[in-house]
Structure 1
Amino acid sequence: MNFDGRLLSGVTVLAAVVAGGSFVNAAEALGLSASGVSRAIARLEARLGVRLLDRTTRSLRLTDEGARFYQQVVPLLDGIADAAAGLSGATATVRGKLRVSVEPFFSRLVLAPRLGDFIAQYQELELEIVTSDEMGDLVAQGLDAAIRFGPPPPSALVARHLLDTRIITVAAPAYLARHGRPERPEDLARHVCIQFRDPRTGRPFSWEFHAGGRVLPVATSGPLTVSDVGTMLGACQAGAGIAQVMALGVKDLLARGELVELFPGWPDETFPLYALYPSRQHPPAKLRAFLDFCSETIR
């Protein structure tokens, strides 16, 4: 296919439509009419010989072919922007809009207290944090990256490992005063344990204890099952039961004595945190800055 300016123009309009979620929003961003945006998309689809968007009177979304095309070409648009910035002597400039999907627990307890510092440092950046337990399709949702706990699923996304946080077993002093403190992990079979539902399987996570290469599975039970870390922590603090939590984000609760770590002699179980973003050779400066900020915040 021979290149011409109309192709690049059409790709730019497509990127604006996906980012804005509608022809009207794309038209406002580009200074065009909604009908002009519609015609540009139609010309691009005709040039490529494939339908890029499924659209109704109420919604639009990328087709499978459109999502693949968008994932391939949008990094090239970013590369053009980076090249233009380089010519102006601003290769490290962090600017524009960045949309990141962040796991709610990490967003609330780790990122939120420092986001003001990040925004103050990069005043030409517009940051949108989308908190969600489900990552979904980054490209179709117009997201630049996602921050998620757990091993990354098989995909074409780039996965950047940010940390491994310890899994610890905790209880509130009020619970221990009523029920006594378990001395060994095996004692949990006689205690009330708060279960946490694995969003991938729909079943509660199994409880394990790791130390020196040894893995000890323990069957636990309790009347309360949750799917939100904040709810689990709140219930545990109130004395509703024993919980397994990520050490990241509960250090203050432990330091203040609101929670007690029960088995410090089993310290080796960990859970990873990853940043996931569309595959590209050179991530834009705004994304690199945010991921570096996440790493620094964790440290």
Structure 2
Amino acid sequence: MDRLRAMRLFLRVTELGSLSAAATDLGLARGAGSAIVAELERHLGVQLLERTTRKIRLTEEGQIYAGRARTILADVDELEDEIGGAERRPHGRLRIQMPPGLTRIIVAPALPGFIAAYPGMELQILSRSDLPDFVGLRLDAAVVVGPLPELDIVARPLGHLPVLTVAAPAYLERRGTPRVPADLADHSCVRTISTTTGNPVVWRFREDDHDTRLALPGPLAFEAPEAAVAAVRRGAGILQIASYLLFDDIRAGKLVPILDDFRPEGPTLQIVHPRHRRKPRRLKVFEDFLSDLNQKVRTSWNITDTQSPGPGRITPPSE
């Protein structure tokens, strides 16, 4: 029995929920999946899958085997990358979690170019903003914004994620434009709720070479960032949020950056993976891709640590 092939098939069954689909995905005959798993179970002397007419479920032993097999195959893939790295481009599957807005606006439009450069790779992108569940979601890595609670992870910073403070022109005409952060106390502030803490995100401003934190009251708070942008677009108030969610509205004149002289550096954008797993070369090249992409967006929008994108100087990202 080819145990590595059996492991790969078994893991693909757990992902697709079908023996025949897993076999087809790996280039085997449709009926081969059942035979290979049955042979694997006989070899191990345990039942790995419970099969019904409607679905396939892992037994307790199957869950243990899947976790260890995934680690073993990752080590095998890494070894092959190291030995044949000079002759072969990175290949294999990556399953990555990242925030929905970042995925849709920044990353997804650039992925065709990445896949063209690395045709042997397959990306599975999960759009989520909550804490990464590496085991339950079978994640290889996750892109997160800001600090994480103490987890057994390795993090690579990809750069700072710029934030902007904005409002609709009609709101500013009606309520006036704040000149300094303290003026926000007299305005309606639309807040976002952290999916990590469950609390409204504290706004930050750069004043006298240090960050000022403001916990501002307001009538509206949203967990979904794009919902907050939609409300502010219609004049609900002032919002501070990740800049990439605002590009289209700023370009169209629907939102106006304010308090730009006080713009903070923004939270760290980072990609994280479990500490106990080695980092395959395919993950390293994807990290490099995300780091370069973040810098490209910052440059195209004139976003630097000392110069902010005034309304007359904004140009949309080229991709």
Instruction: Quickly say closer, same or farther: Cα 1:26–1:189, change in 2 above 3 A.
Output: same
| Equivalence map 1:56-67=2 (5 Å) | 58=55, 60=57, 66=63
Distance 1:122 1:8 in 2: 24
CA deviations 1:31-79 (Å, max 9, x no partner) are 3232541552464474xxxx87788764535859946x65555343233
| Equivalence map 1:139-178=2 (5 Å) | 139-178=135-174
Residue 132 of structure 1 is matched in structure 2 by 128
Distance 2:58 2:152 in 1: 20
Distance 2:150 2:290 in 1: 23
Displacement of 1:233: 1.8
Distance 1:63 1:203 in 2: 37
Residue 315 of structure 2 is matched in structure 1 by none
Residue 219 of structure 1 is matched in structure 2 by 216
Displacement of 1:257: 4.0
The 8 Å contact of residues 145 and 275 in structure 1, kept in 2 or not, is answered as yes
Residue 37 of structure 1 is matched in structure 2 by 37
Residue 264 of structure 1 is matched in structure 2 by 260
The 8 Å contact of residues 94 and 285 in structure 1, kept in 2 or not, is answered as yes
Instruction: Quickly say closer, same or farther: Cα 1:8–1:204, change in 2 above 3 A.
Output: same
Distance 1:237 1:64 in 2: 53
Code of the residue aligned with 2:217 in structure 1: it is T
Instruction: Quickly say closer, same or farther: Cα 1:203–1:63, change in 2 above 3 A.
Output: farther
Distance 1:8 1:38 in 2: 15
Output the TM-score relative to the length of structure 1.
0.79
Instruction: Quickly say closer, same or farther: Cα 1:123–1:208, change in 2 above 3 A.
Output: closer
Displacement of 1:134: 2.9
Aligned length: 289
Instruction: Quickly say closer, same or farther: Cα 1:219–1:65, change in 2 above 3 A.
Output: farther
Compare relative contact order (CA 8 Å, sep 6+) and give the higher one, 1 or 2: 1
> Is 1:199 the counterpart of 2:195 in the alignment?
yes
Code of the residue aligned with 1:34 in structure 2: it is S
Residue 186 of structure 2 is matched in structure 1 by 190
Residue 294 of structure 1 is matched in structure 2 by 290
Where structure 2 has 5 or more consecutive residues not aligned to the other structure, the ranges are 296-319
Displacement of 1:159: 1.6
Amino-acid identity (%): 30
Distance 1:178 1:189 in 2: 16
Displacement of 1:227: 1.6
The 8 Å contact of residues 226 and 245 in structure 2, kept in 1 or not, is answered as no
Code of the residue aligned with 1:204 in structure 2: it is P
Distance 1:260 1:27 in 2: 54
Distance 2:107 2:37 in 1: 37
Code of the residue aligned with 2:226 in structure 1: it is G
Output the TM-score relative to the length of structure 2.
0.75
Distance 1:64 1:34 in 2: 18
| Equivalence map 1:223-262=2 (5 Å) | 224-251=220-247, 253-254=249-250, 257-262=253-258
Residue 97 of structure 2 is matched in structure 1 by 101
Residue 80 of structure 1 is matched in structure 2 by 76
